[in-house]
């Protein structure tokens, strides 16, 4: 009799399976005989141990494997006959009550993939982002590169101002008592970078080398050190040096410092422009993609396999722990991370994954070889030897698969944009690049 798949709730299903004890024992004996031919047992020559000895040493594990194999075959047949797609691993439990003599019965519980109904793409509202990159934007990037190579020079009679590097001694007390971390000698920082608390920077601003100042400072309630958080302190600072910034000129030396071997300024500017344009266009494209994915996710509601969501939560939790390790946190492996931290995003990612997969299949959105190569070539432009990068990606299956996945996402975005209600926007360069 064909087993009946029972619907429990949502995507959860259950089916009762049975395995003949005689069939299991027959296969167990056959496997034990094969093991006996080569088994090394103490006191016997290899392959000469009696079957009864092999039964005692190998029987339990062989029997366990055979039972699992037979149940797996039975479950695979049920799944194939019912045309089901299982999400995650089935849970098996033996049935004791009501089992027939000579038969082992099990109950298999599992989840199936949902039926994903694609939304009407013409009803989706998408924002397509674009950005303008001109001389001003390129100059902003050049200015950032210059600031990164700032040289500070001491200015004896200069009152400290934003952008200056101040070197000072400081000592702090709370209720007249010094505290850990509250003092330092020859401590440098740049005014205006936000490295120090606002009251500290304000006190140092306007002072010259050799001048001293005492001032109160209220530590924020959420300050990193619990011993001083929320408390009022008093600091005395003595400025040792005020150094003003000097930015390098955009000249041959500057070009060489950025890897332009010949020191060609015009070539450097062209290279910077190309890099800025690629990065800005990539960010605008990513912003558009986010709008598409948000619209798709909001347009569909269907049950999600708990197993897939749990796997995504586990993956993101593991990634978070790895990041904490990289930051040097000693108890990164054991620090409690509530699973609800990642569950909403995990559910969204699983939903989008199922939806996008169905859309790719329905619209036949394949990653064509010429698209993959073009994407690799574009990516390789930011490297010194693009041809080597292209060859590497084309020869490495895993790396090529990563690019194919990106191309598929591009195809999905283009497909949705062609059908949806699209509003075009030009995004401010600084906003897009996160420079303000």
The CATH number for 215's domain is 3.10.50.40
Q: How confident is the model at residue 103 (pLDDT cuts 50, 70, 90)?
A: confident
Looking at residue 200, what is its pLDDT? Answer: 96
Buried b (16+ CB within 10 A) or exposed e, 96-112: eeeeeeeebbbebebbb
d(CA 372, CA 400): 8
Q: Half-sphere exposure of 157 toward its Cβ, with a 13 Å CA cutoff? A: 0
Residue with tokens 């674009």: 130
> Which residue segment(s) compose the domain that 313 sits in?
121-134+255-433
Q: Does 140 fall in a domain?
A: no
For residues 301 and 166, membership in a common domain is answered with: no
Looking at residue 50, what is its pLDDT? Answer: 83
For residues 161 and 67, membership in a common domain is answered with: no
CATH code where residue 100 lies = 3.30.70.1050
354-364: per-residue pLDDT in tens? Answer: 999 999 999 99
For residues 177 and 90, membership in a common domain is answered with: no
Residue 226 has pLDDT above 60, yes or no: yes
Residue 153 has pLDDT above 70, yes or no: yes
Residue 435 has pLDDT above 80, yes or no: no
d(CA 412, CA 416): 6
For residues 106 and 235, membership in a common domain is answered with: no
d(CA 196, CA 219): 11
For residues 275 and 370, membership in a common domain is answered with: yes
For residues 214 and 126, membership in a common domain is answered with: no
Q: Does 13 fall in a domain?
A: yes
3-state SS assignment for residue 176: coil
Return the DSSP state at 101: T
Looking at residue 101, what is its pLDDT? Answer: 78
Looking at residue 1, what is its pLDDT? Answer: 55
- Kindly state the tokens that stand for 433: 């690049």
Q: Does 160 fall in a domain?
A: yes
CATH code where residue 361 lies = 1.10.3120.10
For residues 108 and 183, membership in a common domain is answered with: no
Percentage of the chain beyond pLDDT 90 is 58
290-337: per-residue pLDDT in tens? Answer: 999 999 999 988 999 999 999 999 999 999 888 888 888 778 788 888
Looking at residue 94, what is its pLDDT? Answer: 85
Q: Does 345 fall in a domain?
A: yes
d(CA 293, CA 349): 10
For residues 290 and 411, membership in a common domain is answered with: yes
Residue with tokens 């969204």: 348
392-421: per-residue pLDDT in tens? Answer: 998 989 999 999 999 999 999 999 999 999
Q: Mean pLDDT for the chain?
A: 90
Residue 99 has pLDDT above 80, yes or no: no
Looking at residue 98, what is its pLDDT? Answer: 62
106-136: per-residue pLDDT in tens? Answer: 888 999 999 999 999 999 999 999 999 999 9
Average pLDDT over residues 269-297: 93
Domain count, the chain: 3
Average pLDDT over residues 55-81: 87
d(CA 184, CA 172): 9
Residue 143 has pLDDT above 70, yes or no: yes
Looking at residue 365, what is its pLDDT? Answer: 92
Buried b (16+ CB within 10 A) or exposed e, 368-384: eeebbbebbeebbeeee
With beta carbons less than 8 A apart as the criterion, state whether 295 and 359 touch.
Answer: no
Among residues 106, 147, 88, the alpha carbon closest in space to that of 15 is found at: 106
Out of 229, 246, 263, a domain closes at 246
- Kindly state the tokens that stand for 206: 């306007």
Q: Are strands 125-130 and 151-154 parallel, antiparallel or unpaired?
A: unpaired
367-376: per-residue pLDDT in tens? Answer: 999 999 999 9
For residues 205 and 305, membership in a common domain is answered with: no
Distance of alpha carbon 354 from its chain centroid, rounded? 19
pTM over 0.75: no
Average pLDDT over residues 177-181: 92
For residues 222 and 273, membership in a common domain is answered with: no
User: Which residue did the predictor score with more confidence, 249 or 45?
Assistant: 249
Give Cα separations from 422 to 286, 291, 295, 411 (angstroms). Answer: 16, 10, 11, 16
Out of 246, 272, 288, a domain closes at 246
Residue 142 has pLDDT above 60, yes or no: yes
Phi, psi of 122 (to 5 degrees): -70, -15
d(CA 200, CA 149): 26
For residues 128 and 272, membership in a common domain is answered with: yes
For residues 160 and 298, membership in a common domain is answered with: no
Looking at residue 40, what is its pLDDT? Answer: 80
Residue 55 has pLDDT above 90, yes or no: no
Q: Does 328 fall in a domain?
A: yes
Residue 2 has pLDDT above 60, yes or no: yes
Out of 246, 265, 296, a domain closes at 246
Q: Does 144 fall in a domain?
A: no
Residue 141 has pLDDT above 60, yes or no: yes
Q: Does 299 fall in a domain?
A: yes
């Amino acid at each position: 009799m064909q087993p009946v798949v029972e619907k429990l709730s949502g995507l959860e299903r259950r089916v009762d399976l049975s395995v003949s004890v005689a069939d299991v024992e027959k296969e167990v004996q056959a496997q034990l005989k094969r093991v006996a031919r080569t088994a090394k047992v103490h006191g016997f020559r290899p392959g000469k141990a009696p079957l009864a000895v092999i039964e005692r040493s190998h029987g339990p594990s062989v029997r366990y494997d055979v039972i699992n194999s037979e149940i797996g075959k039975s479950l695979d047949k049920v799944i194939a006959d019912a045309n089901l797609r299982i999400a995650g691993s089935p849970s098996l439990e033996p049935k004791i009550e009501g089992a027939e003599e000579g038969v082992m019965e099990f109950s298999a519980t599992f989840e199936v993939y949902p039926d994903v109904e694609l939304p009407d793409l013409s009803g989706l509202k998408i924002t397509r982002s674009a950005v303008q990159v001109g001389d001003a934007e390129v100059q902003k990037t050049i200015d950032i590169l210059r600031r990164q190579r700032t040289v500070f020079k001491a200015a004896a009679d200069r009152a400290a101002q934003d952008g200056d590097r101040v070197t000072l001694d400081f000592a702090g007390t709370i209720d007249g008592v010094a505290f850990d971390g509250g003092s330092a000698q020859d401590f440098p920082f740049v005014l205006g970078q936000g490295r120090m608390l606002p009251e500290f920077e304000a006190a140092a601003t306007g002072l010259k080398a050799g001048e001293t100042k005492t001032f109160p400072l209220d530590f924020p309630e959420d300050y990193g050190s619990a011993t001083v958080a929320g408390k009022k302190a008093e600091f005395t600072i003595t400025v040792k040096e005020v150094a003003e910034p000097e930015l390098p000129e955009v000249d041959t030396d500057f070009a060489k410092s950025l890897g332009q071997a010949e020191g060609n300024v015009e070539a450097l500017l062209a290279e910077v422009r190309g890099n800025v344009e690629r990065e800005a266009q990539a960010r605008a494209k990513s912003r558009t993609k986010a709008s598409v994915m948000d619209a798709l996710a909001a347009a569909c509601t269907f049950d999600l396999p708990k197993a897939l969501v749990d796997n995504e939560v586990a993956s993101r939790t593991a990634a978070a722990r790895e990041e904490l390790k990289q930051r040097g946190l000693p108890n990164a492996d054991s620090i409690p991370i509530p699973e609800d931290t990642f569950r909403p995003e995990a559910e969204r990612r699983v939903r989008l994954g199922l939806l996008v997969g169905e859309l790719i299949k329905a619209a036949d959105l394949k990653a064509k070889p010429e698209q993959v190569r073009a994407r690799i070539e574009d990516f390789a432009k930011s490297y010194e030897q693009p041809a080597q990068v292209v060859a590497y990606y084309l020869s490495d299956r895993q790396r090529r698969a990563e690019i194919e996945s990106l191309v598929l996402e591009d195809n999905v975005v283009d497909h949705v944009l062609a059908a949806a209600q699209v509003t075009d926007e030009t995004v401010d360069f600084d906003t897009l690049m996160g420079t303000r």
